[in-house]
A and B are shown apart, each in its own frame.
Chain A
């Protein structure tokens, strides 16, 4: 009870911090790339896909009510308005990389970025 910090504690905290920084660096520099398409899903169902390079304002509507407004501008996507109580989605930074996403949990709206080539299909029959 005498010391404030034992060796164990310093190592413990340092390792956790290193893990955090390390994993962040890895994700940020190895797994991310600038995306091309904005994908909006509502309750896991795709709502729409839009080009990241074309400025556009999208009103996400559920049951006829406008829930969130997504704006694509200058190669970034952001949520500009929402009817959720906490508005955390509105306060989030604009996104442009393939791993970033903006989520409005109460409305179950997810705005994410995918790369230009949609890799979930091998080919698309015309």
Chain B
């Protein structure tokens, strides 16, 4: 009798977790779509708002590494199929995976807060994409744009970081768990 109840309890948590992740993934995709609507042209390649990174950063700090990774991979694939093309998926993966790795390492092994982690994420996302682009067209010359992407990464990462920070702080205040920003 008790075993049955326990089993049902775990099943409920798994189902609710799947549902939760589904909603988060949908949110990430919506942000991706919104970003594709805003004409963010600076006349320089690779400058993006990175709104979707908000979800990844939030998941990293608020939920967990595995979940954040899952969301990151899925949203790259799905938003690539929905709003991009095969090429864009390649670049997204390069930037996304590199930035995820760096962000998680910083979050886990340093006491840097969300904003700094997000800044690092923004930078590595841009640099990662630039590196893959340079590799694809076999032109190292485009590394000329690295400094600009560095600066853009800092700015966008900072803004996303502030957003994530405020969200987490308010969620904490509302009583929903999680310890540090």
Contacts and interface: CB of A to CB of B under 8 A. Distances in A.
Contact of B113 (A5, A19, A100): A5
A88 B85 contact: no
A103 B150 contact: no
A103 B138 contact: no
Contacts of B144: 27, 31, 99-101
Nearest to A12: B116
A64 interface: no
B122 to A, nearest CB: 10
B147 A20 contact: yes
Q: Which size class do B's interface residues fall under?
A: 35 or more
A108 B154 contact: no
Interface of A: 1, 4-6, 8-9, 12-13, 16-17, 19-21, 23-24, 26-27, 31, 41, 43-44, 85-86, 88, 91-93, 99-103, 105-106, 108, 110, 112
Given A41-B137, A108-B136, 17 more contacts: A8-B116, A9-B112, A12-B112, A12-B119, A17-B151, A19-B150, A20-B151, A21-B147, A21-B151, A23-B146, A23-B150, A85-B85, A86-B84, A86-B85, A92-B43, A93-B43, A93-B44
Interface of B: 41, 43-45, 84-85, 87-88, 91, 110-113, 115-116, 119-120, 123, 133, 136-139, 141-142, 144, 146-148, 150-151, 153-154, 158, 165, 169, 172, 179-181
